[in-house]
Amino acid sequence: MIDEKYAGAAELAVGAVGAIKRTGIRVVALRDRYAKLLMPIEGNVNHVGMMYAGSLFTLGEIAGGAIHMVSFDVTRLVPIVKEVQIRFRRPAMTDVTMEVELSEEEASRIQTEALEKGKADYVLNLELEDASGEVVSIVGGTWQVRTMPKGMQFPPSADQSG
């Protein structure tokens, strides 16, 4: 379920980058410091009938942007990814979901550090699950929150999203 106050964030999370939007990814749930997204199997099948590795990677990588929208001051801070690794455990033959969550304490620490120092790193470790709850991929990495560059517009204009 998407908390009403995050309805706009849900649309922006999957629509701000054209390449992500074209995957058909959907926001399933957004609430304070929590996001759940779904990558549909339809449109994301590779040459041997399983979910395309790039689609799984995209689902893991978008975690930093999704959690950013519900954890930090989006008018002052922007997310970037520094490093991401993915381990493919088994073929994904169905829709795949990803859940990401930060504690209130961790979100506060990250935001405070970013506002004081201009940036703050944080680590996410995620499991991507198929429709039966089987872990198909494990994603880990470092994301960063930075102060918004001067002149940057948020939300981005339509011509920036492709």
Tokens of 24: 């058909």
CATH number where 55 lies: 3.10.129.10
**Residue 110: strand, helix, or coil:** helix
Q: How much is the pLDDT for 22?
A: 94
Counting as low any pLDDT under 50, the low residues of the chain are: 160-161
Tokens of 111: 């935001």
Q: How much is the pLDDT for 35?
A: 96
Q: How much is the pLDDT for 16?
A: 84
In a domain, 116, yes or no: yes
In a domain, 157, yes or no: no
Q: Tell me the per-residue pLDDT of 26-60, one tens digit each, with 9 for 90 and over.
A: 999 999 999 999 999 999 999 999 999 999 999 99
φ, ψ dihedrals at 42, nearest 5°: -60, 125
In a domain, 156, yes or no: no
Q: How much is the pLDDT for 10?
A: 87
- Going from the C-alpha of 84 to that of each of 62, 73, 141, the distances in angstroms are 11, 23, 4
Q: How much is the pLDDT for 143?
A: 97
Report yes or no: 146 and 119 within 8 Å, Cβ to Cβ.
yes
Range of the domain at 141: 4-151
In a domain, 10, yes or no: yes
Q: How much is the pLDDT for 151?
A: 81
Can you give the pTM of this predicted structure? 0.91
Q: How much is the pLDDT for 160?
A: 47
In a domain, 161, yes or no: no
In a domain, 159, yes or no: no
Residue with tokens 């935001």: 111
In a domain, 162, yes or no: no
Structural domains counted in the chain = 1
User: Which residue from 75, 63, 78 is spatially nearest to 124, judged by alpha carbons?
Assistant: 63
In a domain, 158, yes or no: no
E strand spans, the chain: 26-31, 34-39, 77-88, 96-101, 119-130, 135-147
Tokens of 159: 């011509």
Tokens of 75: 């008018």
C-alpha distance across the termini of the chain, in Å:
27
